[in-house]
Amino acid sequence: MSYDVSESELLASGHVACPGCGAPMAVRYALKALGENTVLIVVASCWSIIAGPFPYTAAQVPLLHTLFATGGSVASGVKAGLEARGLQDTTVLTLAGDGGTFDIGIQALSAAVERNEDFIYMCYDNEAYMNTGIQRSSATPWGAWTTTTPVKHPKDQPKKDMVAIMAAHRIPYTATATIAYPEDLIRKVQKAKSIRGSKFLHVLAPCPSGWKSEPSQSVLLSRLAVESCIFPLYEVEHGEEYRITVWPKARVPVQKYLRLQGRFAHLRDEDIGRIQENVDDEWQKLVTRSDRAKAPGNVDQAF
Amino acid sequence: MEKVIMGNHAVSFGVQLARVQVIAAYPITPQTQIVEMLSELCADGRLAAKFIKVESEHSVMAAVVGASIAGARAFTATSSHGLALMHEVLHWAAGGRLPIVAANVNRTLGPGWNVWTEQTDSLAQRDTGWMQLYCETNQEALDLVLLAYRVAEKVLLPVMLVLDAFFLSHTMEPVDVPEQALVDRFLPSFEPQYKLQPGEPCSFYGLVTPEYYMELRHKMHLAMQSALAEITAAGNEFGRLFGRYYGLLEPYRLEDADVVLVTSGSITGTSRVVVDEWRARGHKVGLLKMRVFRPFPFAAVRQALAHAKKVAVLDRDISQGLGGIWASETKGALYGVAEPPVVFPFIIGLGGRDVTPESIHKVLDYTVAHDAPEDDTVWMEVKR
């Protein structure tokens, strides 16, 4: 497959993200897909810093920074305001972290997508409150270390299934993506742009300082997250039609993904076994409910 | 056209005449009728606005901020706990210099639950950077919606339009609903200089370092100060067009008054009647009705009260540890006046307790009988 990825850059160099941060890559690809007729809304997160302080902005589209709990609500107002001025075709893209999406912003997000507001909501998920210094969110995976889930008491709850929550709203389009698969990400953003109504994109975005991983390995980790089926790439239309968009060529054990990250360094082999078991179950559930027409032969392979 | 309508609907008519483009709202007693009527006006096309039915007041104010920063004229209405839930976003509306108008129907904050009138909800938002205008009548509620947009769009700060629960919100009064053409002359459509505009990649609300933050707040302060003159000018222009003049204050039989009642909201009408009775008995009693709380019209208040001997301030609000909020500001206005009047700060009618003519008589009896208040705050008609 080949994709026609735009050469235009709507995210300037000189942003202030850490080396190896997945978040600016996700936004760079998304803006390539959306083009200039876009308004970007940034919910309180690392991205409040990444774009640069006043009077600078790294985004080459109008950018509205906003309060933590307002990703869904402020976007609803912006869309209505633009339409009142006759700007019917401008895409409104809300960008929020996992804290702003899974936790403090979920009420406003749920309400906005229940109203089927016409906007794209992109969550860049680095699996903890990284901007405040690595505190657990409900997106933090089971067993992970954060500063509020110390090694003696690592997180004892599974990651919240945000895609299922969004799909349960029966919105037109929900999808996962990650930075190791830019064509897949861009295609999903383009698809989201072509649909009127609420679109939710869940993007895994590695954070070297929070994951205690090598900045040079962020793309690798994103790829391993997909190949190990910890973070499968799929899309859901109207809450019902599930479709896996990237089938792993050969599944890799979760250990390969987990052992590259210091936040999982304390896990014993049996903990990793438990994670593997859980991932196998979830993958099978996803495969079962997906359109398997394009599935390669080895999809049922387990570890 | 004269209609007999309740205060809530007077606000709705004002919003319709202001040609508001985006409304976001969440129901709360006693405000709900404002947005119910607006919802109908939007649904049947009499008002060409998008009505966003959000899930909380926090989202209300965020949606209204989003609409305003996208360049639309935006409105909402709330009360009490709804306003409290908006608090965080109120700062962003003002800090973003957005000319939003929000009606707040004064309602008591819990606990315990209480839906009746009290001004603590709006007065507690005094440091958010919003202008605050208080209404005495339903006519004022309608007219001040128009005045509020005119001033807000001039100085680029939001306005909170405040009216009493039930005494205004649910009480029918005759109201002159002005002609649209005349309103359009007073309030033309608004084209903001800065807005979210595709093709113009500007950043709004970005991180501001100590190097710049203070200057932004200083500019807000200057804008708020300039609002005093803008309110006066807009009130005069409104009077020329519609025959009803609105100033920062409204003095009543004040010229030679030794004792002055300072009031706001619907208590004013009751107090006027009592002032007339005292005047008929030969007492030099007057009244100063406060319309504008932010920006606080210090100079105008000073001028209006400087020659009185005693000033009785009626506060239907309470700042625990301070007392009445209007009284505190009134004392501030009189600071530095040579031989200032003695200020009698009264707390009255909290939780919607009725303030009757008899209550106002008691206030005046106390004020006349004492050289100074016996305590920092005088609690009227409180069970002990």
Of A89-93, A156-160, A292-296, B269-273, the poorest mean pLDDT is in A292-296
Residues written for chain A: 303
Is the model's pLDDT at A3 over the cut of 60?
A: no
Q: Alpha-carbon distance A49 to A65, whole Å?
A: 10
Q: Is residue B18 within 8 angstroms of chain A, CB to CB?
A: no
**pLDDT digits 0-9 by tens, A213-270:** 999 999 999 999 999 999 999 999 999 999 999 999 899 999 999 999 999 999 999 9
**pLDDT digits 0-9 by tens, B100-132:** 999 999 999 999 999 999 999 999 999 999 999
* Contacting residues for A144 by C-beta, under 8 A, at least 6 apart: A127, A128, A136, A154, A155, A263, A264
Domain B2-242 sits in CATH 3.40.50.970: yes
**pLDDT digits 0-9 by tens, A168-211:** 999 999 999 999 999 999 999 999 999 999 999 999 999 999 99
Hey, what are B226's tokens? Answer: 């300039």
Q: What is the DSSP string of chain A?
A: ---------SB-TT--PPTT-HHHHHHHHHHHHH-SSEEEEEESSTHHHHT-STT--SBSS-EEEE-GGGHHHHHHHHHHHHHHTT-TTPEEEEEEEHIIIIITTHHHHHHHHHTT-SEEEEEEE-SSBTTTTSB--TTSPTT--BTTB-TTS---SPPP-HHHHHHHTT-SEEEEEETT-HHHHHHHHHHHHHS-SEEEEEEE---HHHHT--GGGHHHHHHHHHHTTSS-EEEEETTTEEEEEE--SS---HHHHHTT-GGGTT--HHHHHHHHHHHHHHHHHHHHHB-GGG--TTTT---
Task: Give me the pLDDT at residue A297, please.
Answer: 57
Report the 10 Å Cβ neighbour count for A281.
11
Q: CA-CA-CA-CA torsion for B119, B124, B129, B132, nearest 10 degrees? A: 10
The mean pLDDT value of chain B amounts to 98
Q: Is residue A74 within 8 angstroms of chain B, CB to CB?
A: yes
Among B86, B12, B82, B79, CA closest to B49: B12
Asked if A57 and B56 come within 8 Å (Cβ–Cβ), the reply is no
Q: Alpha-carbon distance B251 to A16, whole Å?
A: 57
Q: Is residue B54 within 8 angstroms of chain A, CB to CB?
A: yes
Is the model's pLDDT at A302 over the cut of 90?
A: no
Q: Alpha-carbon distance B52 to B38, whole Å?
A: 11
pLDDT band at A5 (very low <50, low <70, confident <90, very high): confident
Chain B residues inside the 8 Å CB shell of A57: 201-203, 206
Assess contact for B57 and B78: CB atoms under 8 A.
Answer: yes
Among B108, B92, B111, CA closest to B100: B92
Q: Mean per-residue pLDDT for B214-236? A: 98
From 3.30.420.40, 3.40.50.920, 3.30.930.10, 3.90.950.20, which CATH number describes the B249-379 domain? 3.40.50.920
The DSSP letter of residue B119 is: S
Give the full edge-to-edge strand order of the sheet including B50-53: B50-53, B22-25, B74-78, B101-106, B159-164, B131-134, B292-294
Among A164, A99, A124, CA closest to A40: A124
Asked if B208 and A53 come within 8 Å (Cβ–Cβ), the reply is yes
Domain A22-294 sits in CATH 3.40.50.970: yes
Is the model's pLDDT at A84 over the cut of 90?
A: yes
Is the model's pLDDT at B252 over the cut of 70?
A: yes
* Contacting residues for B339 by C-beta, under 8 A, at least 6 apart: none
Q: How many CB pairs under 8 A join A and B?
A: 173
Q: Where are the domains of chain B?
A: 2-242, 249-379
**pLDDT digits 0-9 by tens, A280-289:** 999 999 999 9
Is the model's pLDDT at A301 over the cut of 90?
A: no
Measured between CA atoms, how close is A79 to chain B, in angstroms? 7
- Parallel, antiparallel or unpaired: strands B159-164 and B203-204: unpaired
Classify residue B146 by burial, with Cβ atoms within 10 Å: 0-12, 13-18, 19+.
buried
**pLDDT digits 0-9 by tens, B4-29:** 999 999 999 999 999 999 999 999 99
Q: Alpha-carbon distance A71 to A104, whole Å?
A: 10
Task: Give me the pLDDT at residue A285, please.
Answer: 96
- Parallel, antiparallel or unpaired: strands A119-125 and A198-204: parallel
Task: Give me the pLDDT at residue A1, please.
Answer: 55
The DSSP letter of residue B350 is: G
Is the model's pLDDT at A299 over the cut of 60?
A: no
Assess contact for B69 and A64: CB atoms under 8 A.
Answer: yes
Assess contact for A243 and A219: CB atoms under 8 A.
Answer: no
Hey, what are B80's tokens? Answer: 């009490």
Among B152, B291, B290, B302, CA closest to B224: B152
Is the model's pLDDT at A4 over the cut of 90?
A: no
pLDDT band at A294 (very low <50, low <70, confident <90, very high): low
ipTM here: 0.97
Query: Helices A71-84 and B57-69, interaxial angle, to 10°?
Result: 40
Q: Where are the domains of chain A?
A: 22-294
**pLDDT digits 0-9 by tens, B129-175:** 999 999 999 999 999 999 999 999 999 999 999 999 999 999 999 99
Q: Is residue B46 within 8 angstroms of chain A, CB to CB?
A: no
Asked if B67 and A115 come within 8 Å (Cβ–Cβ), the reply is no
Q: Is residue A39 within 8 angstroms of chain B, CB to CB?
A: yes
Question: Which has the higher per-residue pLDDT, A295 or B325?
Answer: B325
The mean pLDDT value of chain A amounts to 95
DSSP element (H, E) containing B125:
none
Assess contact for B360 and B326: CB atoms under 8 A.
Answer: no
**pLDDT digits 0-9 by tens, B360-370:** 999 999 999 99
Q: Please check whether the two domains, B2-242 and B249-379, share a CATH topology.
A: yes
Q: Mean per-residue pLDDT for A65-70? A: 98
Assess contact for A76 and B26: CB atoms under 8 A.
Answer: no
Measured between CA atoms, how close is A167 to chain B, in angstroms? 19
Residue B325 main-chain phi, psi, to 5 deg = -80, -40
Is the model's pLDDT at A300 over the cut of 70?
A: no
pLDDT band at A291 (very low <50, low <70, confident <90, very high): confident
